[in-house]
Amino acid sequence: MSPNLLDVENVNKIFARGGIISRSVNHAVNNVSFSLAADKPEVFTIIGESGSGKTTLAGMILNSAAPTSGRILFRGKDLHDVRSRRDRLEFMSHVQAVFQNPFDAFNPLKRVDRYLFSAAQTFTECRTTDKVEERVDDSLRKVGLSLAEIQGRYPHEMSGGQLQRVAIARALVPNPSLIVADEPVSMIDASLRMTVINLFKKLRDELGVSIIYITHDLATAYYISDRLIIMQEGRVVEGGDARTVLAAPQHPYSIKLREAVLSVEGAWRDEPITEAMPAVAS
Amino acid sequence: MITGHRTMATSHEIKALQTAPLLEVDCLKAYYKMQLFGVDREVRAVDDVSLKIDRNEIYGLAGESSSGKSSLIKTIAGAIRPPLRVVEGSVRFSFKDGERDIYKLSPQELSAIRWSHLSYIMQGSMSVLNPVRRIKHAFVDFALPHVNVKGADFTNLVERHLKRVHLDPAVLQAYPHELSGGMRQRVTIALATVCGPEFIIADEPTTALDVIVQKGVLLMLREIQQELKSSILFVTHDMAVHANLTDRLGIMYAGRLVEEGRTRDLFKRPLHPYTAHLISSLPRIGDEAPKKGLEGSPPSLADPPPGCRFHPRCPLSIDICRREAPPLVEILPGHRAACHVAQADPTRVEAVL
Ligand SMILES: Nc1ncnc2c1ncn2[C@@H]1O[C@H](COP(=O)(O)OP(=O)(O)OP(=O)(O)O)[C@@H](O)[C@H]1O
Ligand SMILES: Nc1ncnc2c1ncn2[C@@H]1O[C@H](COP(=O)(O)OP(=O)(O)O)[C@@H](O)[C@H]1O
Ligand code: SF4
Ligand SMILES: [Mg+2]
Ligand SMILES: [Mg+2]
């Protein structure tokens, strides 16, 4: 039997912290397990409250942080053993990331096209300037941009949505088999959001790319996810087929989440404030 | 006689001030002027925008990514840094203590009204919190110069305000990274409202938050707004947030305001094909219909299409659209749109839905 694309096995991440707000250790990711099959590309969605450990988990899957315990296998290989520069580059050409806040993901002093060029030079066979530019332009066009439009620009010279699309385009450059997208569409308009979401769908259906989609947006999650898990305080509280879970959530937290979704019919406009106010602490 | 006449004029002036909209933006043009590889390049991010916002009103702004929303907001807040330049137009506030024409103020006068009259929560605004300094320093830096209390009284004022936004005053001793995203965002909102500003500008203040925390933050913002009777200009891509929070909504496309009206009217009956598309592309839980983003590329603001800027992507476009830019005119009561087709027959826009 060929190995899975990804195995997350009993993964924990514990941060030691002595702050004012939390005095004890912080169990950011608590015993999380799931697998993505190699022969069945899918959109696997992670939903959860702010601070529930989604980004921390993504960081471990991307091998940029190590689990405190448990292990993560990519195509059967423990990420713990992906250490040498060569292995890391090889891993990164298969697994790409789109981060949460594009303003943080780009160095303000570095032109954004540099990121794309260096991705093309590092992860692809393109060597000549022409080939590199072609590859980069290709990726940019998939997200509604073009090289001509962004060439020579610095991050602060672009809008939030443009920058996020550049980040997605960069992730597409190496033709990865897994994309970990941490809230990739929260900064872009509703129409473009569907363009990107449909692009994920297309990557899955036509190119066999699997996608780990981290989001707060339950509606887009419903639209594209095959399976999903819901996290609260580091734990998976509910998981399974996306439509089933979102249509009829079972865990009290999932139910609360489902109920907090705002609708365009403007339901809570006249609701008293205190009732909907969540507890003060994080 | 003369005295009587004066008194009348003065009371007339006062009345005018009270009934005048709090914010009046008139024919505003703001461009980014740059040089790229020796060639001049002009990005017309805000291109002839006029709007009014009333006292005690929450005005929402949505629209395509890179259509100029953040640029518009920066020019309204007077936060203009090169290469951004105001080319034409004016931004006038009628504050309780007098009118202010933003572009006629000196930098000192401008910073005197920051935070106390006008506050601005920026996109990606976690950055106003310095990562290596405790939260209390942010309050000292931003708010202390604008209130006439010091020392323990100032601390009291801040603590009272934090409680008002449902935050434990202990956050003052914390560093930003020790707080969750929701708490940090509440801290930035607390900062922006502590001096009781009349006008609050918020650019995507809740995008990083989960739905539960987001709802809490929005309700809190509205509570504060109602208490202070201030106005809010609120930018977000989340149309459900607009539906729930804002009184009126403006839609931007390619540097222009293309539609504006009461939020409910826009959702119920959009008059611009772009707005209609935006609303129809919203996915919903339980809705199995495929949704599509707009075909074609977003227009370049350095070289926008002639005529109606939406015409290359508009399903309703007709001949005149390619030649003449449609003006933003009132088509239904309190409901403006910039579209030739809607102006002739508003019912035709329903075809896009
Ligand atoms: N400092 C700058 N220098 C040059 N161009 C800029 C600068 N800031 C923004 N722009 C350009 O101005 C246009 C409008 O950008 P703006 O940030 O106002 O968009 P936005 O509507 O807020 O978009 P988003 O919803 O994606 O945040 C874009 O084409 C952007 O690339
Ligand atoms: N580098 C770090 N050091 C200490 N604590 C951290 C670090 N990164 C994240 N955390 C904590 O771990 C928890 C989970 O955070 P995160 O993974 O960012 O959540 P999410 O992405 O779901 O909002 C939070 O309590 C956060 O404060
Ligand atoms: S003016 Fe013409 S092109 Fe522009 S939105 Fe209306 S119908 Fe479409
Ligand atoms: Mg996160
Ligand atoms: Mg913006």
Summarised one tens digit per residue, pLDDT across range A138-149 is 999 988 889 998
When mean pLDDT is compared over A83-87, A187-191, B202-206, the highest value belongs to: A83-87
**Domains of chain A, start order:** 6-259 (3.40.50.300)
Q: Which residue has the higher pLDDT, A20 or B195?
A: B195
SS (H, E, C) A137-195: HHHHHHCCCCHHHHCCCCHHHCCHHHHHHHHHHHHHCCCCCEEEEECCCCCCCHHHHHH
- Let me know whether B149 and B221 are in one domain: yes
User: What pLDDT does B11 receive?
Assistant: 53
Q: Is the pLDDT at B208 greater than 80, yes or no?
A: no
pLDDT of A261 > 60? The answer is yes
Can you give the pLDDT at residue B182?
Answer: 75
Please report which confidence band the pLDDT of residue B146 belongs to, taking 50, 70 and 90 as the band edges.
confident
**What pLDDT does A5 receive?**
98
Pocket lining: A68 vs ligand 2, CB cutoff 6 Å: no
Q: What is the mean pLDDT of residues A7-13?
A: 98
Side chain identity, residue A1:
M
Assess whether B246 and B351 both reside in one domain.
no
Query: In the predicted model, is pLDDT for residue B102 greater than 90?
Result: yes
Establish if B258 belongs to a structural domain: no
- Determine the 3-state secondary structure of B221 from DSSP: helix
Mean pLDDT of B92-119: 92
Same domain, residue pair B111 and B221:
yes
The identity of residue A102, as a single letter, is P
Window B:155-184, CB contacts with A under 8 Å: 166-168, 170-171, 173-175, 178-183
Name the 3-class secondary structure at A241: strand
Say whether both B32 and B159 belong to one domain: yes
Name the phi and psi angles at B258, rounded to 5.
Answer: -105, -20
Work out the angle at residue B174's Cα, subtended by the Cα atoms of residues A22 and B225, and round it to the nearest 5 degrees. 105
Shared domain for B273 and B236, answered yes or no, is: no
Q: In the predicted model, is pLDDT for residue B2 greater than 70?
A: no
Mutate to test the interface with A, among B244, B278, B287, B297 (most CBs of A within 10 A): B244
- The ligand placed nearest to the CA atom of residue B352 is 3
Distance separating alpha carbons of residues A219 and A214, to the nearest angstrom: 13
Residues B86 and B24 in one domain: yes
- If one compares B117 and A207, the residue with the highest pLDDT of the two is B117
Place of tokens 């672009």: A158
Domain-embedded: residue B316: yes
**How many folded domains does chain B comprise?**
2
Tell me B300's DSSP state. P
The pick from A56, A61, A99, A215 for probing ligand 2's pocket by mutation, whose C-beta has the most ligand atoms within 8 angstroms, reads A56
Q: How confident is the model at residue B229 (pLDDT cuts 50, 70, 90)?
A: very high
Residue B297 clears pLDDT 80, i.e. is over it: no
Is residue B224 in some structural domain? yes
Higher pLDDT, B58 or B13: B58
| Residue B256: inside a domain | no
Cα angle B295, B307, B338; round to 5: 80
Structure confidence at residue B9 (pLDDT): 41
- Give which of B39, B291, B352 to mutate to test A binding, by max A Cβ within 10 Å: B291
Decide if pLDDT at A133 tops 90.
Answer: yes
On whether ipTM exceeds 0.90, the answer is no
Residue B139 inside a domain? The answer is yes
Single-letter amino acid code for the residue at B339: C
**Which chain residues have CB less than 5 Å from ligand 5, an ion?**
A 159-160; B 70, 123
How high is the pLDDT of residue A277? 40
Can you give the residue range of the structural domain that contains B348?
Answer: 269-282+306-353
Which of A258-278 are b and which e, b meaning 16 or more Cβ less than 10 Å from the residue's Cβ? bebbbebebebeeeeeeebeb
Asked whether residue B326 falls in the same domain as residue B191, the answer is no
Task: Identify the nearest ligand to the CA of B306 by its number.
Answer: 3
Q: Please tell me the distance in Å from B168's CA to the nearest CA on chain A.
A: 7
Is the shortest distance between the CB of B340 and ligand 3 below 6 Å? yes
Per CB-CB distance under 8 Å, the chain B contacts of A186 are 207-208, 237
Q: In the predicted model, is pLDDT for residue B277 greater than 90? A: yes
Residue B35 lies in a domain: yes
What secondary structure letter does DSSP report for A1? -
| Nearest-atom index, ligand 2, CA of A234 | 14
Specify if B36 maps to a domain.
Answer: yes
Whether A100 sits inside 8 A of B297 (CB atoms) is: no
- Same domain, residue pair B36 and B179: yes
Residue A111, min C-alpha distance to chain B (Å): 12
Residues B219 and B343 in one domain: no
Same domain, B324 and B238: no
For residue A101, which of A7, A176, A189, A184 has the smallest C-alpha distance? A184
The pLDDT tens digits for A33-42 are: 999 999 999 9
Query: Does a structural domain hold residue B295?
Result: no
Q: How far apart are CA A256 and CA A265, in angstroms?
A: 19
Please determine, for residue B226, whether its predicted confidence score (pLDDT) is greater than 60. yes
Q: Could you tell me how far CA A178 lies from the centroid of its own chain? A: 10
User: Considering only residues 5 to 44 of chain B, which have any Cβ-Cβ distance to chain A shorter than 8 Å?
Assistant: 32, 34, 36-37
Q: Give percent of chain A with pLDDT exceeding 90.
A: 65
Q: What is the pLDDT of residues B166-194, one digit of tens each?
A: 788 999 999 988 887 778 888 888 898 99
Alpha-carbon span B3 to A263, nearest angstrom: 58
CA atoms within 13 A on the CB side of A129: 0
Reported confidence tier of residue A106, pLDDT bands at 50, 70, 90: confident
Q: Tell me, what CATH number does B38's domain have?
A: 3.40.50.300
B63 and B121 inside one domain: yes
Q: Give CA separation, B158 vs B133, B136, B142, B144, B227, in Å.
A: 17, 9, 12, 10, 16
- Which chain B positions have a beta carbon within 8 Å of A277's beta carbon? 166, 216, 219-220
Same domain, B119 and B245: yes
**Structure confidence by residue, pLDDT tens digits, A149-199:** 899 888 878 877 788 889 999 999 999 999 999 988 887 899 988 988 998
- The rounded percent of chain B whose pLDDT value lies above 90 is 61
Q: What average pLDDT does the segment A211-238 reach?
A: 95
pLDDT at B19: 74
Neighboring chain A residues of B278 at a CB cutoff of 8 Å:
189-191
Give me the pLDDT at residue B66, please: 86
Q: What is the mean pLDDT of chain B?
A: 89
For residues A246 and A254, what is the distance between their CA atoms, to the nearest angstrom? 8
How many Å apart are CA B58 and CA B229, to the nearest integer?
10
Whole-model pTM: value is 0.88
Residue of B351 and B308 predicted with greater confidence: B308
Taking the alpha carbons of B292, B297, B302, B304 in that order, is the dihedral positive or negative?
Answer: negative
